[in-house]
Amino acid sequence: MSARFDAPLPLPSRWASLVDVVRDDHIHGASWLARSAAEILAERAREESARIAKARETGRGSASASGKESLNDLAALAWGLAWARPSMAAIANTMTAIWKLALPASLEDLERVKAAAAIGRLRDEAMRLRDSWSHVTTELERHISKLLRDPVFTLSRSGSVEHALIAAASARSPDAPMEVIIAESLPGGEGVDMARALAAAGARVSVVTDSAVGVGMARARTLLLGADSVRSDGSLVNKVGTYPAALVAADLGIPVYALCERLKITPQSYPLTLERVSGAAGEEWKEGGWLFDVTPARLVTAIITEEGALSQEAVARLASDAEVALTRLKNYVERAPARHSQGAHPESASPERAPARGRKPPLRSDSRSRNRLS
């Protein structure tokens, strides 16, 4: 079985629920889920290292064979996590970055690598990448602080945007609070949660309905957005409502900034996938609620990362680098034993299964593959 960029690969059944944790989380944003995926991979690598060490100590079975099996299983887990939320490239890029940093590029070299040592490097790189987010957040705050002019309009609840606005609001005098206008951001209403967090930091906050973006934007001087993914052509995949908000801002001459880590820039072949919530039972005629939309690059004044504003050339270069990392993991997964192609992940067999108690409705996806975007 060949791995496809646009579909999850079956993974060991004992780890299927770990992918479910990421896929079924509709509360947190891409950055938080990418960190969560890194922690999952690190913990499983730690467990596999302990299992191999025990096999070596007890002499039960071949530690070498056990190590190769564990490495193959971890590759399948990384691939499954990478595609758990296809609208959020940060998760896929985190998995492929860990793999790229921990293992050699050549498949021939991989054949000679000591599996136990490779698993240890996977664990260490996963933890290092997870821990780097604090520095990234600080750099994002520093770069965007020079550009913010309030009132600031925003929507949804990007972690990067929230941290930056809290830092800016906290630096203000109580006599001159920062003013922020937030769209409620249905479905989900994350904008309301963002408003509470910013109000607690001292900001003067107004929440407007999504249909009143034009009214709220008329008072703003900056539109600050997060991004779940940045396409190789500079377009943004973000919470639904971003595109119309950017259109309004362009009409009013308001600068539009997207704040995100470099890890959110998608590989060139990464499929465009817009997730949506399924319609309620008995209302099949009603289209499910879209969770994401796409904002063209022409509407974005600048993409701000931990390295500052990115040019289109820089975005294209980072997309090319991400492509190399994605291909490296894909090639390894394709070379793994065929047992990974058996016992398919339940999601691949039933993409709209009934939600478990207490969970939101399952996601549907509208996948539009755009290979080699210009």
Task: State the SS3 of 221-241.
Answer: CEEEECCCEECCCCCEEEECC
Residues 135-148 have a mean pLDDT of: 94
Model pLDDT for residues 251-290, shown as the tens digit of each residue: 999 999 999 999 999 988 888 878 777 665 555 555 667 8
Q: At residue 145, what is the residue type? A: S
Task: Name the CATH topology of 134-315.
Answer: Rossmann fold (3.40.50)
Task: Give the pLDDT score at 261.
Answer: 92
Report the mean per-residue pLDDT for the chain. 81
Task: Give the pLDDT score at 103.
Answer: 74
Find, among 205, 147, 203, 145, the residue nearest to 177 by Cα.
203
- Listed in sequence order, the residues at least 6 apart from 34 whose beta carbon sits closer than 8 Å to its beta carbon are 88, 90, 91, 93, 94, 263
Whether omega before 187 lies within 30 degrees of 0, making that bond cis, reads yes
User: What are the residue ranges spanned by the domains of the chain?
Assistant: 13-131+321-360, 134-315
| Of the ranges 3-7, 102-106, 356-360, the best mean pLDDT one | 102-106
Question: Phi and psi for 366 in degrees, rounded to 5?
Answer: -110, 100
Q: At residue 53, what is the residue type? A: A
Model pLDDT for residues 20-63, shown as the tens digit of each residue: 999 888 878 888 899 999 999 999 999 888 888 887 777 665 54
- The model scores a pTM over 0.85: no
Checking if the pLDDT of 340 tops 50, the result is no
Beta carbons within 10 angstroms of residue 352's beta carbon? 12
**Helix axis angle, 30-58 relative to 89-102, nearest 10°?**
40
- Listed in sequence order, the residues at least 6 apart from 59 whose beta carbon sits closer than 8 Å to its beta carbon are none
